[in-house]
C-alpha cells in the first residue's frame, strides 16, 4: 500500500504503472473518492464538535439552575445527532469504497526496471555456466524419474488430479537434499530458520499484497475463512504484523514450507512433468530492513547472490534477468528472476525470484521500527526463492544425466545423498 499523500503527488506516474502492470484502477477516481472522504470527515468532526459544545452548554445551565433554557438546546442536540447519523453513514460507505480502491493501487517501480508487457520483455543481465551438449539422445526429467523409480505422475493424477505427483526413493531424497543444503547455507549466513503455518487468515494475504488480486490462484479452506499459502513469504512477513520491530540489524529469515497454488489461468501450459504443479516445497529468504532505498537495494543484490551461489553449488547453468513492468506483481518495486537451463524445454526456465517491495507490505501489515531519532517508520521488506522443489529437479536431473543412464550428483549435494557420486539404480516400469 502506498501513502495517500504520495499518491496525490504522483498520480500520473502511479496510473501509468497500473496500466503497465495491467491493474484495473483509476487513480483519478481514487482521488475523487479521497476528496469526498476528507470532506465528509470534516463534516463529521464539525458536527461532533458542535454537539460537544451544546452538551457543555447544557451542563453549565444545569449547574446554574436555568432549566427553562435546556429544552431548546436539547432540541438542537437532537437535530445535530440526526445530521451526524446521516453523514457518518455516508462516510462509512465512502471509506469502504476508498479502502477497496487503495487495495488495488500498485507499488511504483524502480527507475531501472525495464518497460514491457510480459516475461518475453525481461532483460538478460548475465549468463553463468555452460549449456550441456549431448552426443546421445537425452531424456527429460519425467522419463529419467520413471526409469530411476523417482517420480510417478500417473498415480499422482489418479490420487489427486492433474498437476500432482509422487516423489519416491531417490526422488524424495534429492527433493529433501536440495532443501537442506540450501537451509544450511542460509543459516551459516545469519538467517533464522523458520517452520511456518501453511494455513493463514485472509488478513495475512491482504497484508502481504497477495489479495485481492491473487485470490483466484489461492486454495481456500472450505467454510473456514482461511487459505493455503503459496509461499512462506506470507506467514513470515505476517509474523510481525502490527508490531514495532528492532532493526538495528536487518532481520533475515529462512522459511521452509510446503506451498500450494491453484494455477488458475495456466490450463494447457506446462502440462507435462514437474514445472507447474499444485503442491511444492520452498526455502524462502525474507528480509526486513530500515526504510532506506540504498540499504534495501544492497540487500536485494545480496539475497540474489545467495540464490546464485546455490545454483552454482548445484553446478547448473543459469541466467539472471531484470523483470519488466508487465511481468511484475502489484506489490513489487524491483525484481530479478533467475532462470535455469532445462534441456527438455530447450530454454531457460524460471526457478528463482528476488523482489524488493520497499514499504508496500509493511504499510499494509502495519510493521514499523524506530529510526535513530526515535520516529516510527515503515520497514522495507524483501523476499527471494532460495530453492523451490520439485521444479529444481527438472534441471538437476536433465543437465546431470550421463550416457550410461546414471545421474551425476553435484559435489555439494553428496553429503545429503549418502556421499554417492551418482544415482545409478535403473528401474524399468
Catalytic site residue from 233, 364, 391, 398? 391
* Grid cell digits, residue 153: 505422475
3-state secondary structure of 283: strand
Rounded Cα distance, 47 and 132, in Å: 75
For residue 350, indicate whether it is catalytic: yes
Which residues, listed in sequence order, are joined to residue 350 by a DSSP beta bridge?
Answer: 339
For residue 296, indicate whether it is catalytic: no
Catalytic site residue from 329, 353, 354, 389? 353
For residue 189, indicate whether it is catalytic: no
Q: With contact defined as beta carbons under 8 Å apart, do 107 and 333 qualify?
A: yes
Sheet-wide strand order for 251-260: 123-128, 318-322, 334-342, 347-356, 380-389, 279-289, 251-260, 192-195
Catalytic site residue from 290, 339, 350, 398? 350
By CB atoms closer than 10 A (0-12, 13-18, 19+), residue 307 is buried
For residue 368, indicate whether it is catalytic: no
Catalytic site residue from 261, 363, 364, 368? 261
For residue 391, indicate whether it is catalytic: yes
Which residue in the block uniquely carries the three cell numbers 446554574? 64
Q: What 3 state SS string does 218-246 have?
A: CCECCCCCEEECCCCHHHHHHCCCCCEEC
Helix, strand and coil in the chain, % to nearest 5: 45, 20, 35
Instruction: Look at strands 376-378 and 166-167 and give their pairing.
Output: unpaired
Catalytic site residue from 201, 276, 345, 414? 276
By CB atoms closer than 10 A (0-12, 13-18, 19+), residue 409 is buried
- Catalytic positions are 261, 276, 350, 353, 391
Amino acid at each position: 500500500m502506498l501513502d495517500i499523500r504520495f499518491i496525490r503527488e504522483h498520480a500520473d506516474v502511479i496510473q501509468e504503472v497500473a496500466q503497465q502492470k495491467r491493474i484495473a484502477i483509476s487513480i483519478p477516481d481514487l482521488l475523487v473518492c479521497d476528496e469526498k472522504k476528507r470532506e465528509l470527515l470534516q463534516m463529521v468532526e464539525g458536527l461532533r464538535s458542535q454537539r460537544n459544545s451544546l452538551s457543555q452548554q447544557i451542563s453549565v445551565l444545569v449547574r446554574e439552575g436555568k432549566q427553562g433554557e435546556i429544552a431548546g438546546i436539547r432540541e438542537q442536540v437532537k437535530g445535530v445527532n440526526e445530521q451526524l447519523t446521516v453523514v457518518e453513514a455516508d462516510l462509512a460507505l465512502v471509506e469502504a469504497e476508498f479502502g477497496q480502491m487503495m487495495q488495488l493501487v500498485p507499488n511504483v517501480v524502480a527507475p531501472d526496471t525495464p518497460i514491457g508487457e510480459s516475461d518475453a520483455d525481461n532483460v538478460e543481465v548475465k549468463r553463468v555456466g555452460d549449456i550441456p551438449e549431448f552426443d546421445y539422445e537425452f531424456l527429460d526429467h519425467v522419463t529419467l524419474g520413471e526409469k530411476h523409480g523417482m517420480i510417478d505422475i500417473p498415480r499422482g493424477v489418479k490420487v489427486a488430479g492433474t498437476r500432482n505427483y509422487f516423489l519416491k526413493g531417490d526422488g524424495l531424497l534429492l527433493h529433501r537434499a536440495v532443501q537442506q543444503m540450501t537451509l544450511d547455507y542460509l543459516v551459516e549466513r545469519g538467517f533464522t530458520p523458520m517452520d511456518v503455518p501453511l494455513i493463514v487468515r485472509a488478513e495475512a494475504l491482504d497484508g502481504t499484497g497477495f489479495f485481492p488480486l491473487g485470490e483466484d490462484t489461492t486454495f481456500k479452506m472450505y467454510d473456514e475463512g482461511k487459505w493455503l499459502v503459496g509461499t512462506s513469504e506470507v506467514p513470515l512477513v505476517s509474523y510481525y504484523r502490527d508490531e514495532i520491530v528492532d532493526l538495528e540489524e536487518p532481520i533475515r529469515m529462512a522459511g521452509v514450507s510446503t506451498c500450494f497454488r491453484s494455477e488458475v489461468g495456466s490450463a494447457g501450459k506446462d502440462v507435462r512433468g514437474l514445472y507447474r504443479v499444485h503442491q511444492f516445497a520452498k526455502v524462502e529468504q525474507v528480509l526486513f530492513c530500515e526504510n532506506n532505498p540504498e540499504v534495501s537495494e544492497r540487500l536485494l543484490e545480496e539475497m540474489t547472490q545467495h540464490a546464485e551461489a546455490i545454483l552454482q553449488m548445484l553446478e547448473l547453468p543459469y541466467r539472471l534477468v531484470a523483470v519488466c513492468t508487465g511481468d511484475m506483481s502489484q506489490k513489487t518495486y524491483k525484481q530479478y528472476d533467475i532462470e535455469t537451463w532445462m534441456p527438455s524445454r530447450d530454454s531457460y526456465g524460471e526457478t528463482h525470484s528476488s523482489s524488493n517491495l520497499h514499504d508496500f507490505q509493511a504499510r499494509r501489515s502495519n510493521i514499523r521500527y524506530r529510526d535513530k531519532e526515535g520516529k516510527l517508520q515503515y520497514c522495507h521488506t524483501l523476499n527471494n526463492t532460495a530453492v523451490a522443489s520439485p521444479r529444481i529437479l527438472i534441471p538437476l536431473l536433465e543437465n546431470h544425466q550421463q550416457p550410461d543412464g546414471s545421474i551425476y550428483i553435484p559435489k555439494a549435494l553428496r553429503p545429503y545423498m549418502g556421499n554417492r557420486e551418482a544415482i545409478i539404480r535403473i528401474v524399468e516400469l
